[in-house]
Structure 1
Amino acid sequence: MPPFAGLDSNPARIRTKPDSNIVTVDVGGQIFQTTQQTLTLGGPKSLFSRVSESPFIDRDPELFSILLSLLRTGNLPSKAKAFDLEDLIDEAQFYGVEPLLVNSLSNPAQFDAFNLEKLQVLPLNGRDSPSAIATTPFGSVHVAHGSKITSFDWSLRRKSTVLTDFTAVDSLLAISPSLAAAGATDFSGLQILDLENGFVRESLDWENVTRSGSTVQGIGSSPEFLFASFESGRRNSNSIMVYDLQSLRPATEIGHCEIYGADIDSAIPATKLNWVSGYGLLMASGSHSGPSGVFGNIKFWDIRSGNVVWEIKEKVDCFSDVSVSDDLSGIFKVGVNSGEVFFADLRNMGAENSWVCLGDGRKVVNGKKEGVGCKIESHGNQVFCSKGGDIELWTEVMMGNSKKREDGLGERVFRKNLMGRVKDMGGSKITNLAFGGNKMFVSRKDQQNVEVWQSSVRGF
């Protein structure tokens, strides 16, 4: 018998009361009653919307009960934890309601920074450690390790690996659960990869003056555009290309620099690109290490005019890493010398001496380079900074009677917390932090895996 039996096979098994929207259906020999409105919440293409057409469904009644509760409340009932997630996914796919299951189990709104624990480790094939991690909003993740990219679906149960043309992938951006942009510092071109079918959909290049080939230094995106920072093969020019995210056709070019002589500032390509949606600006940052120390710059670009709106030149305690937060209206960096976290208020854009040290300011001039390799990322209303094998969590504390500064803005206070249980802390040096769905992904030096941190109360 097919899973959905015809209406004429046993019309007594399904009843819709006259002048009522109550629907009665038999699933695997168990009778369920619900309303037509509840069934339509599955969407017009789901089988739930057509349940009233079939008197008998030859499927597991217990799993049907779980999915029916999902329709009614938008959340899985507590008894769902008694079932294997793979069974729930298969059943949700059969009924055509997997998006509802994804929304219930991997919704970004469920992210709880103060309750994160290391709950899972995703193993990678081969001997290479992760060089880049890219995530999608609902938790699927792509991991670059060596010349390979391994993808996990939103449930982290389904895994696939593709081999790229690169010797090692240095930059990776998830365009969709099955599409990614990838680049390398020693291989020309930005490749758009179909990770589901394992082929290069398109290769994008920047044609520099010397026609020496151009390598990718960083990748970013906005809802409309794809950004790629290129450097010429001879390292005497660099630029940021802006592509239409849908067609992948070039939209504009910004920050084109030709380097002459000892023009060090122009010689620094952007290695990190972040879109600041609240301000409609692109943050591009890059640094250089030389005999006289580490120096760099942070530029905020108006991509429509091609102008720099704000530039911060870094010389004293240059950033080891930098991040920007729309939710907090701020830029955050970890100093390469001090290893401390600094904050600059985006509402005071253009101000001189904009950095405020959130930690021990005395370390700024110590020259010990305690921040080398530290990573910093913002997510929601929190900022995460790796220190060796540990992670600091920075949050803003709202002060009722905060003092007014000279610029008229209220003084802002941030507090630090150490993350994780005692057994989660320490370990090898953290090399990547990424966020997707209700999870945080962490990679460590010389480890061929990715850690999954998630709220224990949300874990399935």
Structure 2
Amino acid sequence: MPPFSQSGPISNGFSINNQKTNHHNHHPSTNIITIDVGGQLFQTTKQTLTLAGSKTLFSNLFDSYEHNSINNIPFIDRDPELFSILLSLLRTGNLPSKAKAFDIQDIIFEARFYGISDLLVQSQSNPSQFEPFDLEKSVILPLSGRDSPSAIATTPNGWVHVSHGSKITSFDWSLQRKSTTLTSFTAIDSLLALSPNVVAAGATDFSGLQILDLDLGVVKQTLNWENATKSSSTVQAIGISPEFLFTSFESGRRNSNSIMVYDLNSFKVVSEIAHNEIFGADLDSAIPSTKLNWVPSLNLLMASGSHSGPSGVSGNIKFWDVRSGNAVWEIKETVDCFSDITVSDTLSAVFKIGINSGEVSYIDLRNFGSNDSWVCLGDTRKVKVNNGKKEGFGCKIETHGNQVFCGKQGKLELWSEVLMGSSNNVKDRIFRKNMLGRVKDLGENRIMNMGFGGNKMFVTRKDQQCVEVWQSSVRRF
């Protein structure tokens, strides 16, 4: 029920109001509890207070009622409007719409006072609140210096780390800048978050994969690949599974490449897969993996890479059994090689943007190993008619949940599957396209990176020194 005013003593913090009351709902044996916050009375239930957990101020309020035999009202000398917001958080698991009128930092500070900051984080960075069809550009995170972002890495609860030049800047779930770390890299090409404060970083022109503690600003460990020529080992891609950290290395002389598998906890070498020594004009072996995606349902690592040669762009996609070190499926790209590629475990498909056509296509993983022909999501006529122009050059594709996101130059496309019954026929799958954002959200600069964390999507563009944060207009406050 809404708060109502009552005069009461002024004190610092939490105390028991000495004013006695005869209202029956103040008795400790009843379920309803009355609290005086800054002179306003609030009523709630014991069940609601217990949702805050033990060792919080709310649990103290509950205990005071359980052991208070003189029926006094607990008094807290804090802002009643902020208390009302946090009480709604306890009741529903979400912040009410009126929270939009407050600065998020004020709400965070108050949640810490009451001991429920973890509940606040869960409510505002919960992936279940990600609404793909209602995404709007809500916040711009500026970056220091003149360098544009080269890579981004996100955590499940909404932290984002951004590499720009030789620096990595971190923002927490509330989009507050936490740190900027100067690294030994000239530029960082691969970035992966291992935790809110630890990342793996590598570059195509700098030897070794570095494990960085961003809180302390130090390199915890450097991982190298000992290649046959004893030259430097540059990082082409990084991937992760619940157990392993994967790193695609290429020798400094560019005549060998490999994928190293490390234990995610100790960073000790587990195995080496996809080792290639290049001899002569063996173009297939010359292609290092530039993207690594773990596929949980198959328990396989998808490694992909492309190469631009005299006859055009070619590439390959291999699925690796990490335990045996064997490639169990290979897809060779020659006609309309991918500009970018990804895999969705939820949708059971590999998705690509063709570099020639600019069209989105997929291979259904439900027929794993038996079908390597691409099915176009859009107009299939465009795949064959491109007049030699690379319509998909520089385009990006990522999946999140059961959605496919495409960055085509400055625009964002969202592809969603339309469920058409229980048919398992690959050709029966139908996807529909939506354009994301309002007119003012669209930019002319090409999209370079897309990342997802909590209930947010992060986007960076070429030649812009910032990160765009896209959120649902319904859930955002």
Residue 415 of structure 1, aligned match among 416, 426, 432 = 432
Cα 1:303–1:401 change in 2 (3 A) is: closer
Cα distance between partner residues in 1 of 2:225 and 2:12: 56
Cα distance between partner residues in 2 of 1:11 and 1:226: 62
Structure 1 outlier segments of 4+, above 6 Å: 13-16
Counterpart in 1 of 2:355? 336
For the 8 Å contact 2:50–2:62, the answer to whether it is kept is no
Counterpart in 2 of 1:117? 136
| Deviation, structure 1 residue 58 | 2.5
Cα 1:279–1:401 change in 2 (3 A) is: closer
Cα 1:32–1:192 change in 2 (3 A) is: same
Counterpart in 1 of 2:297? 278
Counterpart in 2 of 1:34? 44
Q: Of the two, which has the highest radius of gyration?
A: 2
Counterpart in 2 of 1:131? 150
Aligned amino acid, residue 184 of structure 1: A
Cα distance between partner residues in 1 of 2:359 and 2:303: 21
TM-score (norm 1): 0.93
Cα distance between partner residues in 1 of 2:14 and 2:63: 9
Q: Deviations over 1:72-94 (max 9, x none)?
A: 11111222222221100111122
For the 8 Å contact 1:345–1:354, the answer to whether it is kept is no
Unmatched segments (≥5 aa) in structure 2 = 1-10, 65-73
| Deviation, structure 1 residue 36 | 3.0
Secondary structure class of the residue paired with 1:142: strand
Cα 1:222–1:45 change in 2 (3 A) is: farther
Secondary structure class of the residue paired with 1:176: coil
For the 8 Å contact 1:337–1:363, the answer to whether it is kept is no
| Deviation, structure 1 residue 378 | 0.8
Cα distance between partner residues in 1 of 2:179 and 2:20: 47
Q: Which moved more, 1:188-197 or 1:38-47?
A: 38-47
Cα distance between partner residues in 1 of 2:383 and 2:182: 43
Cα 1:205–1:10 change in 2 (3 A) is: farther
Cα 1:48–1:224 change in 2 (3 A) is: farther
For the 8 Å contact 1:117–1:455, the answer to whether it is kept is yes
Counterpart in 1 of 2:260? 241
For the 8 Å contact 2:38–2:77, the answer to whether it is kept is yes
| Deviation, structure 1 residue 401 | 8.6
Residue 185 of structure 1, aligned match among 180, 189, 204 = 204
Cα distance between partner residues in 2 of 1:384 and 1:423: 19
Cα distance between partner residues in 2 of 1:40 and 1:224: 36
Counterpart in 2 of 1:374? 395
**Correspondence list, 1:244-323, <5 A:** 244-323=263-342
Aligned amino acid, residue 446 of structure 2: K
| Deviation, structure 1 residue 373 | 0.5
Counterpart in 2 of 1:92? 111
User: What root-mean-square deviation, in Å, do the aligned CA atoms of Structure 1 and Structure 2 show?
Assistant: 2.2
Residue 43 of structure 1, aligned match among 49, 53, 56 = 53
Is 1:387–2:408 an aligned residue pair?
yes
Is 1:347–2:357 an aligned residue pair?
no
Aligned amino acid, residue 382 of structure 2: K
Cα distance between partner residues in 1 of 2:55 and 2:196: 21
Counterpart in 2 of 1:450? 467
| Deviation, structure 1 residue 10 | 4.7
For the 8 Å contact 1:182–1:190, the answer to whether it is kept is yes
For the 8 Å contact 1:27–1:56, the answer to whether it is kept is yes
Counterpart in 1 of 2:448? 431
For the 8 Å contact 1:133–1:142, the answer to whether it is kept is yes
Is 1:24–2:34 an aligned residue pair?
yes
| Deviation, structure 1 residue 176 | 1.3
Q: Size of the alignment, in residue pairs?
A: 454
For the 8 Å contact 2:363–2:371, the answer to whether it is kept is no
Aligned amino acid, residue 382 of structure 1: Q
| Deviation, structure 1 residue 27 | 2.5
Unmatched segments (≥5 aa) in structure 1 = none
Q: Deviations over 1:372-409 (max 9, x none)?
A: 1000111111111111111111111122496x75xxx5
Cα distance between partner residues in 2 of 1:28 and 1:429: 51
Q: Which moved more, 1:117-126 or 1:423-432?
A: 423-432
Counterpart in 2 of 1:229? 248
**Correspondence list, 1:155-234, <5 A:** 155-234=174-253
Q: Deviations over 1:66-118 (max 9, x none)?
A: 11121111111222222221100111122221221122222111111111111
Counterpart in 1 of 2:417? 396
Cα 1:90–1:158 change in 2 (3 A) is: farther
Is 1:67–2:77 an aligned residue pair?
no
For the 8 Å contact 1:25–1:52, the answer to whether it is kept is no
